[in-house]
Amino acid sequence: MDTDSTIREIFNKTKTFACVGASMNPARPSYYVSEYLISHGYCVIPINPGSAGKEWQGETVYASLADIPKSIKIDALDIFRRSDAVPEIVKQAHEHLMPNLKYIWTQLDVISDEALELATGYGFKMVQNRCPKIEIPRLIS
């Protein structure tokens, strides 16, 4: 798989990301990377059980992928969790029938062969160990 091609495809075909592990703390990478995505025209739906029900950047924070209303069409997941948590997140995305979901993205140092195998088996394309805040200027801008 050509990772750069997949990354370009993600940025060109995605309108809405779900940020799994979103933080309300501006010092956290999930906060400022999500803000960066928003500044580039993407919608970001925050997922964090500890902040569920609050509002962040005009969007409701949801406790889990299952809590996102079906009316919100998620194209890609941007996962800010430890590597060992990623396979379960991929399973949840598949189980909750997110029909628009095509891409799974994990942040720097987040790598899971199990999650990659699951994602591929479910028909998702997956990019691991990359950051949109680095990849957009490198490949798009």
Residue 1's pLDDT is 56
Average pLDDT score over the chain:
95
Q: For 3-140, CATH number?
A: 3.40.50.720
Taking only the tens place, the pLDDT of each residue in 76-111 is: 999 999 999 999 999 999 998 788 999 999 999 999
The residue ranges of every structural domain in the chain are: 3-140
**Long-range contacts of range 11-15, CB-CB < 8 Å, 24 or more positions apart?**
11/132, 11/135, 11/136, 11/139, 11/140, 13/75, 13/102, 14/42, 14/75, 14/76, 14/102, 14/103, 15/42, 15/43, 15/73, 15/75
pLDDT above 70 coverage of the chain, percent: 99
Taking only the tens place, the pLDDT of each residue in 18-72 is: 999 999 999 999 999 999 999 999 999 999 999 999 999 999 999 999 999 999 9
Q: Residue ranges of the alpha helices (H) in 18-138?
A: 29-39, 86-95, 113-122, 132-135
Tokens 């379960």 locate to 88
